[in-house]
Every structure is written in C-alpha cells, then in structure tokens.
Amino acid sequence: MVSLLSAAKTVHIFLLLINAWIWLSSVSCSAELQHFQHQVKPDGSLSFLVVGDWGRKGRFNQSKVAFQMGLVGQKLDIDFVISTGDNFYEDGLTGVDDPAFYKSFASIYTAPSLQKQWYNVLGNHDYRGDVGAQLSHVLREKDKRWLCLRSFILEAGFAEFFFVDTTPFVDKYFTDPGDDTYDWKGVSPRKDYLSNLLEDVDASLKKSKAAWKIVVGHHTIKSAGHHGVTEELVQQLVPILEENSVDMYINGHDHCLEHISDSNSQIQYLTSGGGSKAWRGDEHWWDPEELKLYYDGQGFMSMQMTREKAHITFYDIFGKILHTWNITKELHSAA
C-alpha cells in the first residue's frame, strides 16, 4: 500500500512538473513565435476589420461602433477581426472569471458577422491587470472567438500578420509607472525578453514568403495623436520593418483613426484606436504630405485584400466612410 501511495505521489509530482514546464514554455521570453493559419476565401480574397481601445462595457459609443462593425462585417463577409489592444479598461481583467470579459466583449460584439475569430494583442491597460487571464485557454472556452497571445504570427494565404507585444518596449512603464501597477510576469528579465522578441520577429519576417507582410502592435510608431511617436519602437522595431519590406504597421493606443504614409519607406502606418472613448481636438502637427487621415472620433477600419491589391477603409460610428486607400502590390502606390 505504501509503495502504491509513493508511486501515485511520484506520478502526481511528475504531472505538476509537466504542467509547469508547459506554462513556462508559453510565457518564456525566449519562446519561438507561435503560428496560426486562416484560410482565404475560395475566390482568393481576404477581408477583415480592425478595432482597438474598446473595452468599456458598451460605454463611450463602444456599442455604436460594434453595431456598425456588424453591418460592415456582413457586407464585406469578413474572415476575422483584429484587435489592436487595450481590450479591457481601465486595468485589464482581474482574472478569468472577471465579468468584464462578457460586459466588454462577448455581450457587445453580438452581430452574426462578428462571430469570427478575433486575433488580439495586449495594450498597456491590459498589462495593468492579470495578463495571464487574457492569454488563458479558459477565455477561449468561454468564447471560441477569443485568441490573445503576447506575440504570434497569423498566416492567411498570401498575407502574413506579425502580432508584436509592444508594451514592454516603453521605458516609462518601468521607470515612472506612477500609481499604475503592471503585470510583468513572463516579461522579466525585460532586456532578454525584448532582445529575443526582436530576434524572432526579424527572423520570421526574413523567412516569410508572403506577398503582404503586415505587423500589428498596440503602440503608435507614427502618429499625430495624443501619444504621438513611440521612440523606443522607432529605434528598435522600425529598422526591422524597413529592412524586411513590411507593407503596413497597424496599431491602436491613440484613440483616433489615422493613416500616415511614410515618405522614407513603403510602410503605411494605420491607427485604429477608436473603439470607444476618443480624444477630441488632441492632434499635433504632422507633415501633410504624409498625413492622409486624422479623425479624432470613434470608429474602426476594414481591409479587403487579394494577392495584388489591398483596399483600406475607415468608418465612423454612423458607418460613414471617412477615408479609403488602395495599394497595388507591384507599385506600393496609392490610388
């Protein structure tokens, strides 16, 4: 009997160690970026919506934005939705049972057309809560649409999306957090985390054979909005994007809709951070040759793609089209 109990205890400890190893592998700063695949339509096209900075339990016009997303999503027959982060205000989730997951996500984006996969990155407000909750499989069991990782790659036929965890790049969250508390489990030691992440992103971009390379992060790189330029990303991430001929960088963080066409590269910088609360009148000067759109209200973005072309559209909370932009792959030009 004693030997059986001892054996059972050994097996139990072994299983705990295995589970711990799996968990550490999922949060390790040296983990290779995980890949997901999403099929294009039979006609070879792809369409999706992008929304960011939204999780306010329906307030600040979040519900109105969601309603219009549902209408546009149906019209375009979207394949998925991308969230650019700050998924739950003000301080992320308290855990996997936080009712905010339902009040800000599941019960808000209820349109039939939005019952597609959501690919989410974390924003700085998400890091103020329990990061592990948003990354947990438990939320995927509660709502199968939900998929959130720190950084990952989505392969969608001719297009490849590189989701990058940008919050740990920002120095002030570490050096001057004020009254805010951040959940850095899985990020420390920060220097190693960022070094490995940049190395993985660079290697993945170099390896990619996709016709379109699109990088998604929460923080702005080029923006005329409240937060403006994130210098840490300009210094550390932009050289990688430019060297690897990235076509677009899509972000949130600034609560606006924005399009900046970089004059020094082919990169289009697209901000979709108007999912709920917006900042009226909070705009800084930007070169008008580069600034194609700045809208200081709520809304979202859509993209329709083929191997040869991408059509980008920004909408306000009434579904009004604010701005469109076409890119022809061979020319990297606008029409």
DSSP string, 221-237: SS-SSSS---HHHHHHT
Note the pLDDT tens digit of each residue in 111-144.
999 999 999 999 999 999 999 999 999 999 999 9
The four Cα atoms 76, 82, 85, 86 give a dihedral, to 10 degrees, of: 40
| Listed residue (163, 161, 149) closest to 247, CA to CA | 161
Say if residues 59 and 89 touch (Cβ distance below 8 Å).
no
Say if residues 171 and 121 touch (Cβ distance below 8 Å).
no
**How high is the mean pLDDT of the chain?**
92
Q: What is the pLDDT of residue 331?
A: 45
Q: Average pLDDT in the 258-263 region?
A: 98
Please check the confidence at residue 90 and state whether its pLDDT lies above 80: yes
Please check the confidence at residue 7 and state whether its pLDDT lies above 80: no
Q: Which residue has the tokens 């438990």?
A: 138
Please check the confidence at residue 213 and state whether its pLDDT lies above 50: yes
Please check the confidence at residue 203 and state whether its pLDDT lies above 50: yes
* Secondary structure (3-state) at 294: strand
- Residue 151's pLDDT band (boundaries 50, 70, 90)? very high
Q: Average pLDDT in the 189-198 region?
A: 98
| Listed residue (222, 232, 208) closest to 256, CA to CA | 222
Please check the confidence at residue 62 and state whether its pLDDT lies above 80: yes
Give the torsion sign (CA, 163, 168, 170, 173).
positive
Catalytic residues: 227
DSSP label of 10: H
Q: Is residue 86 packed enough to be buried (19+ CB in 10 Å), middle (13-18) or exposed (0-12)?
A: buried
DSSP label of 106: I
Cα distance between residue 122 and residue 125, in whole Å: 8
DSSP label of 267: P
Length of the chain: 335
* Secondary structure (3-state) at 21: helix
- Residue-wise burial string across 120-140, b where 16 or more C-beta atoms lie within 10 A, e elsewhere: bbbbbbbbbbbbbbbbbeebe
Please check the confidence at residue 14 and state whether its pLDDT lies above 70: no
| Listed residue (219, 165, 225) closest to 194, CA to CA | 165
Could you tell me the two tokens for 114?
A: 């939005």
26 or 212, higher pLDDT: 212
